[in-house]
Amino acid sequence: MLLLYVLAATILNSLVALIGAFSLLLRRNVFDKFIFSMIAFASGALLAGAFFHLLAESMEQLNSNAFYLLMLGFIFFFFLEKILRWRHCHNVKCKIHAFTYLSLLGDAVHNFIDGVVIGASFLVSLHFGFITTLLIILHEIPQELGDFAVLVYGGWKKHKALLANFLVQLTCIVGALIVFFVHTTTFIYVLLAFSAGGFLYIASSDLIPELHKQEGIRTWLSFLWFLFGIALLLCFKLFLH
């Protein structure tokens, strides 16, 4: 039964890759408002999830060692972004066509890690699995929209870009199955602390800086969405744990 929950969570996460089709139905100004709100909300949720859920859960087993693993996770995600260039190329001199394939490779690694985290979280508890899946989906939505835009900008047909994003997203399922069938209790909590560092890096390095690009009233609206993301994950911690 637990395996079915893991499969359902990873399949749901994989379907997020198709959200690019949603952007085709929106006018540009509406889409921009949606994506900034989503980025702000995801930023707060990821930070709160990293500290209130992943790190807190791992500290119950690992004590202060969890902080070293959190830092290691932060460094690892920074290293991956440097090597695989996860961040979108905004420089007009960048070789966009070559970058599209590199972007897909980075996304495959990223999704595999997401699957490992989802699988490990369900081995802790169903509640923890649901929370972790929610966190991963929240940060996947703006990322997949961005990945879709990069592929289209790089010369891919829209339907081909959607299919490629979806196939790459399926590596999430592979990661979940591996950790589900090959695991130890200590490894699971090590992985949770390590993943907290990854979530912290994504929120602070990739998402929050995007919010500083806004001006006027939208700056404060995004800040409210940011606080709402934190508040929601805190409520989950206090009332659903």
Q: How many residues does the chain have?
A: 241
C-alpha 28: how far from chain center: 24
**What distance in Å separates the CA atoms of residue 6 and residue 2, rounded to the nearest whole number?**
6
Round to whole Å and give the CA distance between 17 and 226: 23
Within 10 angstroms of residue 48's Cβ, the number of other Cβ atoms is: 23
The answer to whether the CB of 121 falls within 8 A of the CB of 194 is: no
pLDDT tens, the chain, 241 aa long: 889 999 999 999 888 888 777 766 667 677 667 777 877 888 888 898 889 888 988 898 899 999 999 999 999 888 877 776 544 444 434 444 455 676 677 678 778 888 988 998 999 889 889 988 988 888 777 667 766 766 775 677 878 888 888 998 999 999 999 888 887 778 888 888 888 898 898 888 877 887 887 777 878 888 998 999 899 888 877 776 5
Q: Which two tokens stand for residue 34?
A: 């949606």
Residue that the structure tokens 């996947």 belong to = 140
* Domain residue ranges in the chain: 2-9+49-239
Give CA–CA dist 32/218, Å, rounded: 11
Report pTM.
Answer: 0.70
